[in-house]
Amino acid sequence: MSAALFKAGKARAEAPAFRERMAQLVAMQTDAKAGDAAKWTGACLDLMAGWLADLGFVHERHMADSNAFLVARRTEADDLPTVLTYSHGDTVPGMAGDWAEGRDPWTLTEDGPLWYGRGIADNKGQFLVNLTAVEALLEARGSLGFNLVWLIEMGEETGSPGLAEFCAEHGDLLKADVLIASDGPRIAADTPTLFLGARGGVTYRLDLKRRNGGRHSGNFGGALRNPAIELAHALTTIVDRRGAVQIPDWTPGEIPPATRAALEGVTPAGGEVDEDWGAEGLTPAERVCAWSSAEVLALHAGHPPAPVNAIPPEASAWVQLRYAPGTPDAGLFDALRTHLDAHGYEDVTITSDGPAFRASATPVDHPAVALVAEAATQTVGQPPAILPSLGGSLPNDIFRDILGLPTIWVPHSYPGCSQHAPNEHLPKELLFEATGLMTGILGGIAGLRPEDLR
C-alpha cells in the first residue's frame, strides 16, 4: 500500500495545480522584516486557511507578541492518534536585483529542472508538499486514519516571537501524540532524511574600544594598542586554528553511543565538507549534528572599502554558536565572559545579538522514530538517513519541551537550495518525490494507537 500511496502523492504533485499553487505562495511577499509585512501575512494565511478548509479543517487565528498564528484541526475520531505538524509562511527578504538572469524573487520561475522563488525551500514549498500529501491520502483512502493539527506561524525568520508563549498557553489546541513536520534540508537531494531535533543557536557581538578616533599608523604604530589585532587574538581563544570550539561549557562534552551509531556512514551538507576542519576525533556528521561549532560571521575595524593609514580606535566581531543537545545552555553567556577574562580580554564587551534557539532532540531509539522510518522505507524502498539533530536551528525545543512531544522532521529541501540567499530554488523532481514520500509516511500512521507514538 505504501508504494501505491507514493505513486498517488507524486502524481498529484506533478499535476498543473501543484505548480499553480506554488506560484501563488511565492507571490506572497511575506518578508518578515518588511514594513508592509502585515498585509502579506494576512493574505498568505487566508490562502493557506482556504486550502485547509477545503480538506475539512476547522481553523482559527491568533496573535502573540506581534506574530500571527493559524491553528487548523481535522478530527476524525477521539480514539485515533493525533499528529501535530508545523509550517511557517514568512521568508527572509527577497533580495530583488541580486538574483541571476534578472529573476524576480516573488515570481515562480522554471529553468530546466529547477523552480526558483523566495520561500520555495524555506518554507512555503515544504508546506505545499505536506498539504498535497494530505490531499492525496484523503483521495486514496477517504480518510486520514488519524487526527491532524496544523500550526502555521509568520515569524520564524525573526526568531518565532511569541511561539513559546502561545504553545504554553494553548496546549489544549495543540494537544497531540507526535510532531511530524518539515523544514530544513535533506543531507542530499536524493536521500530521504529524518532529523529528530536541532542544535541551539545564539549570536554574540564582541566589541573592543581603545580610544575615540584613529591615530596615524606611522606616528603611533608600535606604540598604541590596535583593537583589531587584540580582538583577532581573542577570537583564536574561542576557536582554534582548525575550527574547534575551545570553551568546554559550549559543548555537550560527549556524544551518546546511540547518536554515534545513527550517524555512522552519514555525510552532511551534501558532501561539501572539509575533512580536516572542526573538533578532532569526530566525523563531519558528528561535528554538524551532535557537536557544537562557533563561527565568526563578521569582523569590522577601520574602513574596509577604502582603508586609511590609521590605527582603528575600535573593532567588532560577531560570533555565532550552534550548540548540540546536551550542552548546558543556561550559562552560555557567562561561559564566554569567564573564558575571555581568563585569557586577559576583560576589556572586550559582549552583547547578545539576534534571535536565539535552544537545543533539543528526540532520542534516536524512540518508538515513534522507528515507526516513521519504517513507513518511509516501505514507501520509497530504502531506509532514510536519520540525523539525531539538524545542524541548523529551529523551534524544536518548543514542541519537545513545552508540548512534550516526540519530534520528527521530514525535510523536503537540499543543501544547495540557496535558502536565505538570492536564487532560492528546488528541483521539481525533489518536490514531486517528496510529496510521494510524505503521503506514504502519513499513510503509515493510520492503524496505529496513540500510545504507539508516545
Say which residue the cell 583589531 belongs to. Answer: 228
> For 200-255+283-352, which CATH class?
alpha beta
pLDDT tens column, 105-114: 999 999 999 9
SS (H, E, C) the chain: CHHHHHHHHHHHHHCHHHHHHHHHHHHCCCECCCCCHHHHHHHHHHHHHHHHHCCCCEEEEEEECCEEEEEEEECCCCCCCEEEEEEECCECCCCCCCCHHHCCCCCCEEECCEEECCCCCCCHHHHHHHHHHHHHHHHHHCCCCCEEEEEEECCHHHCCCCHHHHHHHCCCCCCCCEEEECCCECCECCECEEECEECEEEEEEEEEECCCCCEECCCCCCCCCCHHHHHHHHHHHHECCCCCECCHHHCCCCCCHHHHHHHCCCCCHHHCCCCCCCCCCCCHHHHHHCCCEEEEEEEEECCCCCCCCEECCEEEEEEEEEECCCCCHHHHHHHHHHHHHHCCCCCCEEEECCCCECCEECCCCCHHHHHHHHHHHHHHCCCCEEECCECCCCCHHHHHHHCCCCEEECCCECCCCCCCCCCCEEEHHHHHHHHHHHHHHHHCCCCCCHHHHC
CATH number of 2-198+359-453: 1.10.150.20, 3.40.630.10, 3.40.640.10, 1.10.10.10?
A: 3.40.630.10
Interatomic CA distance for residues 18 and 446, integer angstroms: 25
Amino acid at 94: G
In Å, how far are 48, 274, 276, 395 from 198, measured between CA atoms?
26, 22, 24, 8
pLDDT tens column, 50-104: 999 999 999 999 999 999 999 999 999 999 999 999 999 999 999 999 999 999 9
Task: Return per-residue pLDDT of the chain as tens, 454 residues.
Answer: 689 999 999 999 999 999 999 999 999 999 988 988 889 999 999 999 999 999 999 999 999 999 999 999 999 999 999 999 999 999 999 999 999 999 999 999 999 999 999 999 999 999 999 999 999 999 999 999 999 999 999 999 988 999 999 999 999 999 999 999 999 999 999 999 999 999 999 999 999 999 999 999 999 999 999 999 999 999 999 999 999 999 999 999 999 998 999 999 888 877 788 999 999 999 999 999 999 999 999 999 999 999 999 999 999 999 999 999 999 989 999 999 999 999 999 999 999 998 888 999 999 999 999 999 999 999 999 999 999 999 888 899 999 999 999 999 999 999 999 999 999 999 999 999 999 999 999 999 998 999 999 8
| Residue-range domain boundaries for the chain | 2-198+359-453, 200-255+283-352
- Give residues with Cβ within 8 angstroms of 160, minimum separation 6: 67, 88, 153, 355, 395, 398
User: What cell numbers appear for 205 in the block?
Assistant: 557581538
